[in-house]
Amino acid sequence: MLSYLIRRLLLMIVTLFGVSIAIFLLLRIVPGNIADILFDSAGLIDPAEKKKIIADLGLDLPLPMQYWQWLNGLLHGDLGFSYVSEKPVIDEILPRIPITARLAGLAMTFAIAAGVPLGVISAVRQNSKLDYALRVLSLSGLSMPAFWLGLLILMACVRWFGTIPIYDRAPETFGAWLAMLAIPAAAVGFRSSALIMRLTRSSMLEVLRQDFVRTAKSKGLSDTAVTYDHALRNALLPVITTIGVETAFLLGGLIVTETVFNIPGVARFLVEAIRWRDYPMVQNLVMFIAVVVVTVNLIVDLLYMLVDPRIRYSE
Amino acid sequence: MAPVLEVSGLSTVFHTRRGLVRAVQDVSFSVNAGETLAIVGESGCGKTITALSLMQLIPRPPGEIVSGSVKVDGTDLLKLSEPEMRKMRGGKIAMIFQEPMTALNPLMTVGKQITEMVMLHDKLPKSAARTRAVEMLHHVRIPEPERRAKEYPHQMSGGMRQRAMIAMALACKPKVLVADEPTTALDVTIQAQILDLIGDLQREFGTAVVLITHDLGVVAETANRVVVMYAGRKVEEASVTDLFANPLHPYPRGLLGSIPRVGSARGLDVSPDERLREISGMVPALNDLPPGCAFAPRCSQADARCHAQVPPFEMKQNDHFAACWQA
């Protein structure tokens, strides 16, 4: 167990190192830097001034040098300054994290709370009308991009309520907070819930056909006990893995959803930062997201061990 | 002595896209307390469906038990509601399955799987049920039952799992135990141990055992009476000694002829080039049975009547029944 944990942590570091190189290079491949954009948008034409800005920001240094500066700072907890706001990156990111975290948490909760039970119902009532309806619904969930669904929801809100949920930085009650985030969370979680539902369904169908389910029935257990105590626990194993993978997709979906619903979270901020070629901002935000995704996957794997004794004991 | 298990006229069908599959047709037998009845036949002859019909574990749909009665201690299981049937399953009639590797829940300790059932049927509190589970594991001769009860199925060998399965099936002291090929997946040495174990527990608890198997060696060793099935029907029923000494129906005769005897291959008492006799042809599809005797197309003695009419199942000799026009 401990050796497994250490191995996984080492692997995490290697992964993050790879991510840091990838994001650093990708950003440099994108044409233009902050100086180009400033000059284009402001209509400045003094090449000496542009050169000065580039030198000030260290953008004239060779790439390995720039990379080293960033990484060295990162390792010492210094994330640098934003090119645009000129504030420390950490002060820009930190207040936005809880907003995105809550939205993502709510979306994932929604996805699991809807996906797993619906998947079970669909499997237990295989080929019934309900099953067909749920399958069509989930297929639409998989095919609809979150931002488009978000736009549809916004249009529906305007049509029927004459208003859209407005982001409020400090909602007064938990209810108000939930009402404000529920719609964007549902929009972004719909895809995940559809995926989880389909996976739970197929996994349940497979497990329900297995011998030990028949054994459980032959013991005289009720249908509920057979379905939930015996079948569902076994069926959830692949679903747990998917939840880990889905978290990464979810963060991707959030970028657009936060923009559509005008929520000042990390994800929308990232899009802004990329537009301005705000290198320190983008690099550190992506690193942060990578850390979250890798950690969630580690937690998922540990959870897997907790649920499945076959893995626990083979370690 | 009144039989503990009385099955009469049991017929089970499956409604499939390729038509009605008559998996079990008009099967009757009875088993007394402490007695073992073997149901023999090749794959697809309906023996497992018979077992599942007794337990009412036939998937419905597509399966359906269309007629007959299954009486355990006088109660007809086919007339019970599903909740009433659940009380019988595991309580009065229990089953052990062929594959010990897959028949136990991999995520639940063996002890918990037995405890769960004892709590359900005997209404015992958890601790007492747990004690019973450990006792049962001890009973099936699993060493260190306390520790083994806390283990998961994957930590046990195949033989050990089958023992645990037997412990589970017998934990509530059922009147009837249905054993569906309990030793097929095991090594030969373990097979003998498991059969001995079932026999010992049967004597101790007075359980009536229905043993489903294709292995005539197992039948000879353990059963009192034998029912031979072919294409969903009973073709012969007799005591073990009568059946082995004097099979009346050509199908069991063929089955017995297809068993290699020690020595025959080495040419000690027979010529070295003697081949095992096989039964030519194939088992007919259960959705496309011939009008007469189902075995007629493979039978060397079949005549026009065999191909036209189903032979009645009747007593041919003292307590020896068969369904054959020629016997």
Q: What is the pLDDT of residues B95-119, one digit of tens each?
A: 998 887 888 999 899 999 999 999 9
A30 is a domain residue: no
Taking 60 as the threshold, does the pLDDT of residue B268 lie above it?
A: no
Instruction: Using a CB–CB cutoff of 8 Å, tell me whether A212 touches chain B.
Output: yes
Order of all β-strands in the sheet with B63-72: B19-31, B5-16, B63-72, B75-76
Order of all β-strands in the sheet with B208-213: B93-96, B176-180, B208-213, B36-40, B225-230, B233-239, B320-322, B314-317
A286 is a domain residue: yes
| Alpha-carbon separation of residue B60 from B36, B47, B90, B315 (angstroms) | 29, 18, 20, 35
| Nearest-by-CA chain A residue for B153 | A310
Question: Where is A147: in which H helix or E strand?
Answer: helix A146-161
C-alpha span between A233 and A307 (Å, rounded): 8
Q: Tell me the two tokens of residue B196.
A: 């001995």
Q: Tell me the two tokens of residue B211.
A: 């043993």
A35 is a domain residue: no
CB atoms within 10 A of CB A140: 12
Taking 60 as the threshold, does the pLDDT of residue B267 lie above it?
A: no
| Nearest-by-CA chain B residue for A232 | B107
Q: List chain A residues with CB under 8 Å of B108.
A: 229-230
Taking 90 as the threshold, does the pLDDT of residue B293 lie above it?
A: no
Q: Which residues contact B178 (CB under 8 A, 6 or more apart)?
A: B51, B54, B55, B93, B94, B95, B96, B209, B210, B212
- Nearest by Cα to A238 from A292, A191, A300, A295: A300
Q: How far apart are the first and last CA of chain B?
A: 31
- Nearest by Cα to A284 from A92, A51, A35: A92
Mean pLDDT along residues B302-311? 83
Question: Across chain B, what does the average pLDDT equal?
Answer: 85
A242 is a domain residue: yes
**pLDDT band at residue B269 using 50, 70 and 90 as cut-offs:** low
C-alpha span between A109 and A189 (Å, rounded): 8
When CB atoms are compared, the residue of B97, B120, B155 closest to A211 is B97
A17 is a domain residue: no
C-alpha span between B239 and A6 (Å, rounded): 66
A80 is a domain residue: no
Question: Where is B28: in which H helix or E strand?
Answer: strand B19-31
Q: Three-state SS for B226?
A: strand
pLDDT digit string, tens, across residues B25-42: 888 888 988 889 999 988
Helix B158-170 × helix B188-205 angle, to 10°: 10
Q: Do residues B164 and B110 make contact, with C-beta atoms less than 8 angstroms apart?
A: yes
Radius of gyration of chain A (CA): 24
Domain span including residue A225: 95-314
DSSP state of B287: T
CB atoms within 10 A of CB B264: 16
Q: Do residues A303 and A312 make contact, with C-beta atoms less than 8 angstroms apart?
A: no
Query: Residue A208 belongs to a domain with what CATH number?
Result: 1.10.3720.10
A162 is a domain residue: yes
pLDDT, residue A122, reads: 92
Taking 80 as the threshold, does the pLDDT of residue B209 lie above it?
A: yes
The pTM for the full model equals 0.79
C-alpha span between A212 and A20 (Å, rounded): 47
Question: Where is A296: in which H helix or E strand?
Answer: helix A279-307
**pLDDT band at residue B263 using 50, 70 and 90 as cut-offs:** low
Q: Tell me the two tokens of residue B151.
A: 């283990």
Give every residue of chain A whose pLDDT is below 70, as ranges. Answer: 44, 169-170, 313-315
Interface of A with B in 217-236 (CB under 8 A): 217-222, 225, 229-230, 233-234
Q: Tell me whether residues A212 and B104 touch, CB distance under 8 A.
A: yes
When CB atoms are compared, the residue of A216, A220, A313 closest to B105 is A216
Looking at the complex, report in whole angstroms how far the Cα of residue B297 sits from the nearest Cα belonging to chain A: 35
Taking 70 as the threshold, does the pLDDT of residue B210 lie above it?
A: yes
Q: Which residues contact B117 (CB under 8 A, 6 or more apart)?
A: A219, A220, A221, B90, B168, B171, B172
CB atoms within 10 A of CB B223: 23
Question: Which residue would you say has higher pLDDT here, B318 or B263?
Answer: B318
A1 is a domain residue: no
Q: Which of B102, B107, B110, B150 should be substituted to probe chain A, the one whose Cβ sees the most A Cβ atoms within 10 Å?
A: B107
CB atoms within 10 A of CB A207: 21
| Nearest-by-CA chain A residue for B56 | A218
Looking at the complex, report in whole angstroms how far the Cα of residue A219 sits from the nearest Cα belonging to chain B: 4
Largest CA distance in chain A: 86
Q: Do residues A265 and A96 make contact, with C-beta atoms less than 8 angstroms apart?
A: yes
Q: Tell me the two tokens of residue B23.
A: 């998996």
C-alpha span between A278 and A23 (Å, rounded): 13
C-alpha span between A102 and A92 (Å, rounded): 18
- Nearest by Cα to B209 from B35, B16, B7: B35
Number of domains in chain A: 1
